[in-house]
Amino acid sequence: MKKRSVQKGFALALAGAMIVGLAACGSGDAAGTTAGTAAGSGDTASGTSELYWFSDVSGWGPATANWSTQESPATKYIEENFGLTLNIEQPPTDAATKLGLMIASGDLPDLMSITDADVYKQLVAADKIWDMKTFLETYDPESHLLTDFPEDIKQALTDTYGGWYSFPSHMESADNRENFPPDDQIWVDVVEKGTNGCIMFNKEIMDALGITQEDVQTEEGFYAACEKVKNSGYQVDGQSVLPVVLQCNLWIGTSLDGVLANNFGVVPVDENGNYRHSELAPGYKNALKFVNNLVQNGYLDVNTLTIDETALKTYLDAKRVFCWIGNQAQQDKTNMPWVSYGPIVATNGARPAVGINQSAGTGWIQTVVSKDCKNPEKIAKLLSWASSREGLLLNYYGIEGTDYTIDDAGIVTRTEEGTKVLAESYDNNVLLWPFANTSFERNTEPVPDPTTNRGVEVALMPAMGKYQDTYIYDDSLLNFKSGQVIEPSSDLGIKEGQVKTYLESQKAKIATAASDEIFETEYQNMIDTLNKYDITGIDAEYDKVYKEYCEKKSGSIEDVNAALYQ
């Protein structure tokens, strides 16, 4: 992990050093010719033009196992109607490094779908990508995007990146819901109260051992249920059951800093409303102690904290896990017995706290167009089509009448053949993810069968948020954290880097402590070390930006559990 960070930093630094020259020279013909040659653009044997498309998106692209576009009706439509053959490049590792060097050299792909905010900002600073309004007005002036692209998302992009330079994937906002209204309350609950991180229980094991919702919804009751599972001798297909698993080697960021911090009411502000690292919150110690209790009592096998997601899925798919605290999106949950009752109520009565983006976000994947791209007219029309209802229907569902039917209300039902094609030919996200539109999904998708992956998912996601005592705050007030708040080369920036490196290892040491005494010692070591690295000074810098966001958005976050620890 550290090595990748250093490599990325080198690439971006090199890019920054060369950008000055590039910006000064502009984007003339010489630069365009170089980029075109490097991208390999040109006419193919079939008479179509090649679209060189770069992706750094994990889980989508050629670096994904069994990935293919051959059976995708969307890619076939693009070739037949826009004369473009997709040449998608996705480096299996260090995509940011490669793209950073491309920025530095000026040899950019035609289209880039990126998730790295720093790389995006490098592209904007280099003046190497199109402003979307100018691009569309120039090459597709009739584009629907000029009139119906969600204004709130456009503003969020402008606030974050200085302008509307990209088409974002997975858009979900009030203005986007004007274009694609949700067709059922379940989608509203997912938007307003849902997160991917959940506390999930295997209902089959619960029923077999006589464990009830009431048993697992308090902290002490949960420990007792785990003890029961541990000593039951219960097996699935001759294999023992694991009382608890977290999100494998991603457990710190996903299970601890996400789900369990929420469960114990951790928020990123102190009792006075000032920004504070979550690790300093008293409730965070309770989240750490919860994990430590699981380890000390043998409910959580520490070996499962180092496996990867593929190995984790073998346990989950075999239904050998009683409680999974992690990211439900990482498993196909079709016919899986997962249920969630929201939080495990803390012994001290702390209110759960969940951050939900209550403002328009910037989406996930940002697709940008190089100013040196070949065939800009074709690319502009491709963007307009792919984001239209027609393009989204083909991308999501395939061919009407063959792969799906649609009723008068616009609700789509997949045919048996369409379901099969999705499972087999579209495996591993062959769908054009950069054009995924979350509001469109919830506008066209029927209320899912509760036994399907989607049906289980929409029941799990809002469970924590729907709990009557959960405090929901506006997570968009923390959007600044995705950018650079403190200059990395400054004294405080160096200390911030040291904090990030230190916390990753120290949290694991605390959570897996062999005794309560060691836990207390290691926890205090963490607090002392954070103070040595001037965590107060770091938080003060973050607080300045946080307060600006609060003022701009007329909102704030409250430490609703402060009175518990006074």
| 435-455 pLDDT, tens digit each | 999 999 999 999 999 999 999
Structure confidence at residue 8 (pLDDT)? 44
230-244, 304-318, 374-388, 409-423 — which is least confidently predicted?
409-423
Spell out the residues 6+ positions from residue 490 whose beta carbon is closer than 8 angstroms to its own. Answer: none
Which candidate, 329, 365, 373, 101, places its Cα nearest to that of 194?
329
For Cα atoms 6, 10, 11, give the angle at the middle one, nearest 5 degrees.
120
Residue 157 has pLDDT above 60, yes or no: yes
- Whole-number pLDDT of residue 427: 55
Tell me the average pLDDT across 167-181: 94
Per-residue pLDDT for 404 more than 50? yes
Residue with the bigger pLDDT between 549 and 432: it is 549
**DSSP code of residue 427:** T
Average pLDDT over residues 197-207: 98
Phi, psi for residue 525 in degrees, rounded to 5: -60, -40
pLDDT, residue 15, reads 41
pLDDT of 74 > 90? The answer is: no
Ramachandran category for residue 436: left, alpha or beta (phi over 0 → left; psi -120 to 50 → alpha): beta
> Mean pLDDT across the stretch 73-97?
88
* pLDDT value at 530 more than 90: yes
Q: Does residue 221 have a pLDDT over 60?
A: yes
Calculate mean pLDDT across residues 385-407. Answer: 94
Local confidence band at 61 (pLDDT 50, 70, 90 cut-offs): confident
User: Per-residue pLDDT for 6 more than 60?
Assistant: no
- Of 241, 243, 267, 236, the C-alpha closest to 352 is 267
- Confidence check: pLDDT of 269 > 90: yes
Q: Which residue has the higher pLDDT, 18 or 323?
A: 323
- C-alpha closest to that of 193 among 379, 519, 464: 464
pLDDT at 359: 79
Lowest mean pLDDT: which of 17-21, 358-362, 367-371, 398-402? 17-21
Instruction: Name which of 47, 75, 32, 164 is nearest 382 in CA terms.
Output: 75
* Across 418-433, average pLDDT: 70
Average pLDDT value for residue range 48-66? 83
CB < 8 Å & 24+ apart, contacts of 398-407: 398/73, 398/422, 399/73, 403/73, 406/444
Share of residues in the chain with pLDDT > 90 (%): 74
Confidence of residue 98 (pLDDT cuts 50, 70, 90): confident
Instruction: Using the predicted structure, report yes or no on whether residue 134 has a pLDDT greater than 90.
Output: yes
| pLDDT greater at residue 436 or residue 34 | 436
Q: Give the closest residue to 47 by CA, choosing from 328, 375, 416.
A: 375
- Spatial distance between the Cα atoms of 454 and 472, rounded to a whole number of angstroms: 24
Give the per-residue pLDDT at 462: 97
What value does the mean pLDDT take over residues 6-29? Answer: 38
pLDDT of 5 over the 50 cut: no
Q: For residue 298, what are the CA distances in angstroms to 95, 105, 269, 374, 506?
A: 40, 54, 34, 60, 21
Residue listed under structure tokens 């790389």: 119
CA nearest neighbour of 526 among 285, 296, 293: 285
Per-residue model confidence (pLDDT) at position 37 = 27
pLDDT tier, 422 (very low <50, low <70, confident <90, very high otherwise): confident
Average pLDDT of the residues in 350-377: 93
- 306 close to 508: Cβ distance less than 8 angstroms: no
Q: Residue 477 above 50 pLDDT?
A: yes
pLDDT, position 431: 67
**How much is the pLDDT for 72?**
78
Residue 53's pLDDT band (boundaries 50, 70, 90)?
A: very high
For the stretch 490-518, pLDDT in tens is 999 999 999 999 998 999 999 999 999 99
pLDDT band at 57 (very low <50, low <70, confident <90, very high): confident
pLDDT band at 94 (very low <50, low <70, confident <90, very high): confident
